[in-house]
A and B are shown apart, each in its own frame.
Chain A
């Protein structure tokens, strides 16, 4: 089955700096890679996703990159704000498995003033 590793487990940045979270996956048949933000006491919220036929995707301050050859994908947050503080999860989905995602272990991002 698929296995997803995520680093770092904690990340502290100053407001306005950039944050980068990296994930690797094991199964080359995975073709969909979403990122979720989870605030305390809430469910995961989809913030951006990328499919295997695309190398990069941007949405305002958030971007995701995918390197299929190396089986790496990364989340980039620019101009961080205190409200970006949360736990971020990467995930991967094997082609044809609909709603079955394999999640990473999470990154706790803290944005300090």
Chain B
């Protein structure tokens, strides 16, 4: 049990649509990050948020955006969905005291 919860667990969208995924971090963890995991691959870093500001981004286009709220919950938004966006999206909570990163169970997105 990592204390990181994500919703929804599964969803199906069509190409061109927009999607919002949600995450609730561990209590006291003020840094949250999002990862994309394609089938059969390792997770890839999308971006991280600290104190409601994005402060690090991986190699993902601007149509991937996020928000972090004062209660440390966060959202990942993806616009203009493409077929290649089909993946497991993972939210991770960072404990600055330990340096450890804890993942939620993920939201599986299928784009048709």
* Contact present for A100 and B58 (CB under 8 Å): yes
Q: Does any Cβ of B come within 8 Å of A65's Cβ? A: no
Interface pair A100/B33, CB less than 8 Å apart: yes
Q: In the complex, A105→B40 CA distance in Å? A: 8
A85 to chain B, nearest CB (A): 17
Cα A11 to Cα B58 in complex, Å, equals 30
Determine, out of B13-21, B42-50, B64-72, the stretch whose residues face the partner at the interface: B42-50
Residue among A32, A41, A43, A91 with most chain B CB within 10 A = A43
- CB distance B100 to A45 under 8 Å? no
Q: Are A89 and B42 in contact (CB under 8 A)?
A: yes
Tally A-B pairs: CB < 8 A. Answer: 65
Asked if residues A46 and B102 are in contact (CB atoms below 8 Å), the reply is: yes
Q: With A100-B45, A105-B41 in contact, is A44–B90 under 8 Å at CB?
A: yes
Known: A43-B104, A98-B31. A103 touches B42 (CB 8 A): yes
Interface size class of A (residues with CB under 8 A): 20 to 34
Closest to B43 in A: A103
Measured in the bound complex, the distance between the Cα atoms of B25 and A74 in whole Å is: 30
* CB < 8 Å neighbour of A32 from B58, B90, B99: B99
Grouping DSSP codes into helix (H, G, I), strand (E, B) and loop, the B interface class, with mixed when no group exceeds half, is strand
Is B101 a contact of A99 with CB atoms below 8 Å?
yes
Kindly state whether residue A18 has any CB partner on chain B within 8 Å.
Answer: no
Q: Mark B16-42, 1 if CB is under 8 A from A, else 0.
A: 000000000000000111000000111
| B48 close to A98 (CB less than 8 A) | yes
Residue A69, interface by CB 8 Å? no
Q: State whether B31 touches A99 (Cβ < 8 A).
A: yes
Say yes or no: B45 contacts A46, CB within 8 Å.
no
Distance A101 CA – B33 CA, assembled complex (angstroms) = 10
Q: How far is the CB of A2 from chain B (nearest CB, A)?
A: 10
Contact A34 B33 (CB under 8 A): no
User: Can you list 8 pairs linking A and B with CB atoms under 8 Å apart?
Assistant: A42-B106, A44-B43, A51-B99, A89-B42, A91-B42, A97-B56, A98-B55, A98-B96
